[in-house]
Structure 1
Amino acid sequence: MDTTPLPPRASATPTPPTDRPRRGRRVLYLAGGALAVVLAVAFLRPHASTNRKHATSGDQPVAVTAVSRGDMPVVLTELGTVVPITNVTVQSRIDGYLMQVLFTEGQHVHKGDLLALIDTRPYEVLLAQYEGQLAQDVAQLRAAQVDNARYQRLIQQNSVAAMTAKDQQYKVEQLEGTVKADQALVDNEKLQITYCHIIAPVDGRVGIREVDMGNYITAGQTNGLVILTQMQPISVIFTLPENDIGPVATRLREGTPLEVDAWDSANLNKIATGQASVLDSQIDTSTGTVRMRAIFPNSQEELFPNQFVNARMLVSTDHDALLVPTNALQNGPNGQFVYVVKADSTVEVRNVRTGHANNTMTVVTDGVKEGERVVTDGVDHLRDGVKVSIPQATDSATAPQKGKE
């Protein structure tokens, strides 16, 4: 029997591993957490104190303006176009060669000035021909008149047939018609020679020449010879909403002048001042507007044809009207409203009705009273009953005290 001792068996219970790495990581975690807490306290402490301060006060800073009374000009601003009162395409009324051009492009001309000359020689030749034919027919008429007078004496003496005397009378009448036709031909050729001299029909400024000297032009050809535009005076045509026609039409019927200012397309600079002239005869059903013309002297040619302008027309002035800043008006489900600051520094939502307005002020017809304060800035977080503070009033109140100190 083998009595060799067996090797000792491994213990079933494992030897617990060392905890030094785990303790090291735990220490690092604790140190990082402590650092994060310190940083959070350092950065958030001022904000927290500020938040606690606001939470304590609860006042919303706002800017206010008192409702006041004043005059509000009723001005209608509409987009308009500069349109010449007279714009003429100078045409030739006859055919022929353009012999002379007597104007310079861009020149100001007067009514009756000679602008161009067409070759008159073909028409002068025809005039001479028709004048010769007229002279011939006049001679025949005179001879027929002499014979007719003789026949009329003979028929009274029963020395000639009545038919012969009557035929002679008809011949005289026929030759009188021929002479009239010849005279018309002569007058027509004289008119053609007159048309060879192209004159300015109105005062104005000529544009760029469309035909050069030496070209053969025809009557009524496309683009004509040049465009002549009346610059002084000139008009601006703009559209007027149908709801505003009544007051404007009344002023025009009364003969009261309506002043119109023309501003540039950016609506920044005033260009010229004129007066309203006339309303169009009907409303455009597609836009609900009516066209209106205003006349401007344009002595310095500030306005140029086809230029886009903003027409501002002063219709009337509302006197002693309640005025609030336009930026105080807010839009809600029930229409426009304002925030009114009450005596206890809380705000009240007040629905209002408005009238005419300009860029800064608006007429209020109902909802507020004179002297009440309305919020003009800082309305984003306001609601009915919120307590507000007015930094401007606080600063002005504390300024004298600081001065005394």
Structure 2
Amino acid sequence: MNPPRSIPRPRTAWAAAGTLALLALAGWHGIDRRALAADQPAAKAAPPVVATVATVQQQPMPVYRSGIGTVAATQSVTVKARVDGQLDRIGFTEGQDVKAGQILAHLDARALQAQLAQARATRAKDQATLANARVDLARTTQLIRDDAATQQQLDTQKALVAQLEAAVQTDDAQIAYAQVQLSYTTIVAPIGGRVGARLVDVGNIVHASDTTGLVVINQVDPITVVFTLPEEAFQDVNRALNASIASHQPLAVQATPRTGTGVLGTGSLTLLNNQIDTANGTVQLKARFPNPTHALWPGQYVNVRLQLGQRPDALTIPAQAVQRGQDGTFVYRVEPDGKTVQAQPVTVANVQDGVAVIDQGLSAGQQVVVDGQYKLKPGAVITAAAAGARQ
């Protein structure tokens, strides 16, 4: 008897055929993708960034401390009457520059002139009485020699002469006092300067006790600027001031307008106050300025720069090259190849007039980016343009 034949399984055959087809399709896709990748061009590199660069300079730089100040008159005097009287005449024009000793006003002097005349008359009377007493004293002295008068009479006459001499001295004092009082009717400028608005009109009665006065005189040439600096600056200012005293070279101070450009005046430091204000942590300073053109005026606010000295070999870059990051200040330094840049941390000593003085991080001759930094990152490629060449 023959053994039974095995019956083929159609599903298994079909599965094997499907698997082979899938493998063939996958291989075709892989070959096709590699071909497409080979046909595509390579990705383009990022274009260089156009950036303005500047060279680190080594040069002398003045060391400044800056603050805000108020212009004040060097001297300010409210001119007042020193005696009571009627204002007769005014000898100045409002806003006029006057000199010390110039007549500003006259008061009615007739009452004081009469007092002076009375004092002189009293003196003349007392002098006549004194002369007669001296004659009597000489006569009594002679009678004493002739035993015709007593010692008591002589002593009485001597006392009378001394009393009359004292009376004449009192009269001299009264005359001097009356002359001084009379001189006060002519009011003169105690200082030179600019007069302000007239505070009393002619015809008014003025008194020595009046608080307003006749006019205010402000000395505006030279003029003073009062300013403050943080207490952290005290030691630097104190050292510089001591050095300037030893060298007889006062510290220079510049005053500039709060808005705009230009220099209003250059003067010298005259005062470093003897205490620090604990309320706001500042120290007060004062500088004096020649002011022939009256560019500085009392009450004006100004920016003040106090020069403490000079750095002989300071490293400087344009201030706009300095950037601020999370770790502090840095600049984009150009590598020696002149094409790539790196972020370089720097320590900035101070910034003045658009120039940053660098303490650490750079050396003379290196180049830094001063414009176009917002497009850069460390390792970026640049096309360098010199400062001032870019439009």
TM-score, structure 2 normalization: 0.77
Question: Corresponding residue for 1:6?
Answer: none
- C-alpha distance 108-290 of structure 1, shift in aligned 2 (>3 A): closer
Which range moves more in the overlay, 326-335 or 197-206?
A: 326-335
- C-alpha distance 359-281 of structure 1, shift in aligned 2 (>3 A): closer
Q: 8 Å contact 1:257–1:275 — kept in the other structure?
A: no
Displacement, 1:321?
2.1
Question: Corresponding residue for 1:295?
Answer: 289
Q: What SS does the aligned partner of 2:277 have?
A: coil
Q: 8 Å contact 2:255–2:302 — kept in the other structure?
A: yes
Partner Cα distance (1:177, 1:122) in 2? 27
Paired residue type of 2:112: Y
Partner Cα distance (1:71, 1:247) in 2? 17
For residues 270-308 of structure 1, the C-alpha deviation after alignment (integer angstroms, 9 at most, x for no partner) is 223x33041235132333323122221x22222222222
Question: Corresponding residue for 2:197?
Answer: 208
1:268 and 2:266 correspond: no
Partner Cα distance (2:70, 2:246) in 1? 24
Question: Corresponding residue for 1:75?
Answer: 64
Question: Corresponding residue for 1:369?
Answer: 363
Paired residue type of 2:103: L
Partner Cα distance (2:293, 2:332) in 1? 49
Query: Of 143, 164, 184, which residue of structure 2 is paired with 1:175?
Result: 164
Alpha-carbon RMSD: 2.7
Question: Corresponding residue for 2:272?
Answer: 280
Q: 8 Å contact 1:70–1:320 — kept in the other structure?
A: yes
Q: What SS does the aligned partner of 1:57 have?
A: coil
Q: 8 Å contact 2:104–2:188 — kept in the other structure?
A: yes
Q: 8 Å contact 1:58–1:387 — kept in the other structure?
A: no
Displacement, 1:115?
1.2
Query: Of 247, 269, 277, which residue of structure 2 is paired with 1:254?
Result: 247
Which range moves more in the overlay, 313-322 or 107-116?
A: 313-322
1:387 and 2:376 correspond: no
Q: What SS does the aligned partner of 1:290 have?
A: strand
Partner Cα distance (2:51, 2:298) in 1? 49
For structure 2, list consecutive stretches of 5 or more residues without a partner in the other structure: 1-42, 387-391
Q: What SS does the aligned partner of 1:270 have?
A: coil
Partner Cα distance (1:63, 1:98) in 2? 73
- C-alpha distance 390-220 of structure 1, shift in aligned 2 (>3 A): farther
1:237 and 2:205 correspond: no
Which range moves more in the overlay, 210-219 or 327-336?
A: 327-336
For residues 176-219 of structure 1, the C-alpha deviation after alignment (integer angstroms, 9 at most, x for no partner) is 11111122112211111111011122222221100000000001
Q: 8 Å contact 2:53–2:384 — kept in the other structure?
A: no
Paired residue type of 2:381: S
Q: What SS does the aligned partner of 2:221 have?
A: coil
Partner Cα distance (2:367, 2:131) in 1? 104
Partner Cα distance (2:269, 2:334) in 1? 47
Partner Cα distance (2:255, 2:83) in 1? 42
For residues 24-47 of structure 1, the C-alpha deviation after alignment (integer angstroms, 9 at most, x for no partner) is xxxxxxxxxxxxxxxxxxxxxxxx
1:307 and 2:300 correspond: yes
For residues 40-74 of structure 1, the C-alpha deviation after alignment (integer angstroms, 9 at most, x for no partner) is xxxxxxxxxxxx75xx5397765543323223232
Displacement, 1:121?
0.7
What is the percent sequence identity of the aligned residues? 34
Paired residue type of 1:312: R
1:110 and 2:99 correspond: yes
For structure 1, list consecutive stretches of 5 or more residues without a partner in the other structure: 1-51, 395-405
Partner Cα distance (2:119, 2:367) in 1? 93
1:353 and 2:347 correspond: yes
Question: Corresponding residue for 2:313?
Answer: 320
